[in-house]
Amino acid sequence: MSESVASPAKTVTVTGHGSVAAAPDHFHINIGIEAQRPTVKEAYAAASEAMNAVQEVLLARQVARDLIRSSTLDVRVETRWQDGIGSLVTGYTVSATMNVLLRYDQGAEEIIAAVVDTGNNSVRLNGLSPAITDATAAQDAARAVAWADASRAAGLYAQLAGKTLGAVVSITEGQEQSTGPGPIMARAMMASGDAAMRIEPGQSSVNATVTATWDLV
């Protein structure tokens, strides 16, 4: 008795990539607070004073309270080594960060300048990153580009194999490493004759990946 063997499925699987540029409408600024003092209590009080000063500046500039987020409170012991004795505690450092979401059109330059100008040596501006608050349209456009990329490659492979593309068997959307658009350009430029910096949004890249399988006929 002969045993029938099922022929392997004739399919082609291709991954397509898509990327579109979009203009950010907001950006995040990251503010660092750090105070070093002889005792934990003194360091915490100094850090709290600096953080309160920054919050007061932001609220006075009409930044909504729910757009200000504090995080990563950390207490670090400062030590030094002394021969014959060992490690000696020299003080304590309390640090924290604040993340603030600002619109490009709400006088962001003046807000940043006011934060830096609090006069508190414990305040540092760590940097800024652009953000797109609603990336739905850009994400759909990137998906369309990714699909066109996958379809083009699948059609080419089918042609090289002497086949034609049949029905789509499966579609899987890939996961991007970043959770949001990655900045292409975000510049802070000194305005001529002005102490305030001009913040330019530039463009952000919104990406999509799709893996699809077609029948070959």
Smallest CA-to-CA distance from 129 within 192, 216, 199 is with 199
Q: What are the start and end residues of each CATH 3.30.70.2970 domain in the chain?
A: 26-130
Q: What are the start and end residues of each CATH 3.30.110.170 domain in the chain?
A: 11-23+135-216
Smallest CA-to-CA distance from 198 within 61, 51, 27, 53 is with 27
| Chain mean pLDDT for the chain | 82
Give me the pLDDT at residue 191, please.
36
Q: Is 105 exposed, middle or buried (0-12, 13-18, 19+ CB in 10 A)?
A: exposed
Residues 149-173 have a mean pLDDT of 95
Please check the confidence at residue 132 and state whether its pLDDT lies above 50: yes
Q: Are the C-beta atoms of residues 149 and 20 closer than 8 Å to each other?
A: no
- CA dihedral sign of residues 17, 23, 26, 27: positive
Smallest CA-to-CA distance from 149 within 23, 22, 10, 15 is with 15
Please check the confidence at residue 117 and state whether its pLDDT lies above 50: yes
Tell me which fold the domain 11-23+135-216 belongs to: Translation Initiation Factor IF3 (3.30.110)
SS (H, E, C) 76-132: EEEEEEECCCEEEEEEEEEEEEEEEEEECCCCHHHHHHHHHCCCCCCEEEEEEEEEC
Q: Is 190 exposed, middle or buried (0-12, 13-18, 19+ CB in 10 A)?
A: exposed
Q: pLDDT digits over 68-80, tens only?
A: 998 878 999 998 8
Determine the longest span between alpha carbons in the chain, in angstroms.
94
Helix/strand/coil for 20: strand
Q: Which of 6-10, 86-90, 100-104, 147-151 has the lowest mean pLDDT?
A: 6-10
pTM beyond 0.85: the answer is: no
Tokens of 201: 């949004």
The DSSP bridge pattern shows strands 204-216 and 182-183 to be antiparallel
Give me the pLDDT at residue 1, please.
42
Q: pLDDT digits over 172-191, tens only?
A: 998 664 443 333 333 333 33
Q: Which of 105-114, 163-172, 184-193, 202-211 has the lowest mean pLDDT?
A: 184-193
pLDDT band of 44, cuts 50, 70, 90: very high
Please give the Cα distance from 20 to 9 (Å, whole number). 35
Name, in order, each residue with C-beta under 8 angstroms of 192's C-beta and a sequence gap of 6 or more: none
Please check the confidence at residue 206 and state whether its pLDDT lies above 50: yes
Please check the confidence at residue 148 and state whether its pLDDT lies above 70: yes
Smallest CA-to-CA distance from 189 within 174, 176, 202 is with 202
> What's the CATH number of domain 26-130, 3.40.50.620, 1.10.3720.10, 3.30.70.2970, 3.40.5.90?
3.30.70.2970
